[in-house]
Chains A and B, each alone.
Chain A
Amino acid sequence: MNTLTLTADEKKVYLTLPESLREGWQILDETQTSYETLEALEMRIEISPLRRHPLLQEYLKRFEKGESVEKLPLPDLSQEDMGEFFFSIGARGMTELMKSVLGNVKTDDDIRLLSSIGEMRHKLLETNASISYV
């Protein structure tokens, strides 16, 4: 059985999805609450090597020249940079991604995407809870 780790609010939305999409998935309750503070997210960005990524500097130039956000494709990043990205947006950012996906589920792959982001968020919440100095 595949698993989906969802908060109580997410679970409510999920249960409104067609049965055909929900078939074969077991829901695990996300009960952890160690979401990042704003200061922690700022620190993550400050220490992220993504800040100096050449591709992002290129994106910044395009954006500064007036190109709209919608026309900038999600760039291909290395596995490590993707890891940096998800860590830096934190469990809070992942929750927003979950919300967006959940509101637009159409395929089984969308459910798998929810499952993957939910698992990453769960692990990050665990990590946040286990290391707290401030």
Chain B
Amino acid sequence: MLRTANPSSPEASSRVPAFSNREDLVQYLSTEVGEDTLVQLEKAKTNTDRRRLLVDALHRKHPEMNGRAERVADRLLLNKQEVERKEGWFTWLVKAPFRAMGWVWQKMKEHPYITAAAVIALLYFTGIGSSIIAKIQAWRAAGYDAAAARIGTSTITPAAPAAPNLLPPGVTHLPVPPPPAAPAVPGKIL
């Protein structure tokens, strides 16, 4: 039987948990697709091969998945990709020769428009709901200069840009992030 991590979520039909570290993801995958598939996955040369390996393994383990296996495989591969990218990022960051990140953060604080953009990004991390999204959108639509004028911020220069956009080009709205994933129970969420 197919089960999702959060059946009450409107996206439950397509959501499987996301794992924040390699160990949890590997443990989950080894249960769901088998260790043999995991070994083959690491040896696979192309993304097409990786996807096919996962889809086939999911079909074998969960024949009732039918057409959902592709979406589940894509999400698991995306999870794996981002976990490994994060490992690479932190490995570099620890040894980074450039200025301490604390210095960068303090300098960002000196720029009101960067501070506002970063605060918005931070609020977004909290898994904020649609009402907050609407408030943020209204703030951005009003433009940062107008907002700054409203509160009497004097440090903004005429050259300051409108509300900085931390979204990818072409993206005009902030999607509501899913709630934090419940602890995954192998064999229970697919």
Contacts and interface: CB of A to CB of B under 8 A. Distances in A.
B85 interface: yes
B2 interface: no
A14 interface: no
A92 interface: yes
B109 A73 contact: yes
Contact of B151 (A51, A70, A133): A70
Contacts of A120: 96, 98, 104
A41 interface: yes
Interface stretch (B28-36, B61-69, B73-81, B182-190): B73-81
B93 A83 contact: yes
A116 interface: yes
A60 B120 CA distance: 10
A99 B93 contact: no
B180 A133 contact: no
B180 A99 contact: no
Interface string A96-133: 11011101100001101101110110011001101111
Contacts of A22: none
Contacts of A29: none
Contacts of B89: 83, 87, 123-124, 127
A15 interface: no
Interface string B121-136: 1111111100110011
B143 to A, nearest CB: 12
Interface string A48-86: 111111001101100110001111111111010011011
Contact of B177 (A46, A52, A56, A83): A46
Nearest to A102: B161
Contacts of A131: 81, 84-85, 88
Interface residues of B, number: 78
Contacts of A39: 78
- A interface, over-half SS: helix
B117 to A, nearest CB: 7
B26 interface: no
Interface string B97-109: 0111111110111
A97 to B, nearest CB: 6
A104 B160 contact: yes
A104 B117 contact: no
B58 to A, nearest CB: 15
B177 A132 contact: no
B147 to A, nearest CB: 6
A128 B126 CA distance: 24
A97 B164 contact: yes
27 contacts: A35-B168, A38-B171, A40-B78, A40-B81, A46-B18, A51-B125, A51-B126, A53-B125, A56-B123, A56-B125, A60-B128, A60-B132, A69-B123, A69-B136, A69-B147, A72-B119, A85-B118, A85-B121, A87-B90, A89-B166, A92-B168, A93-B121, A112-B107, A113-B108, A116-B103, A128-B85, A131-B84
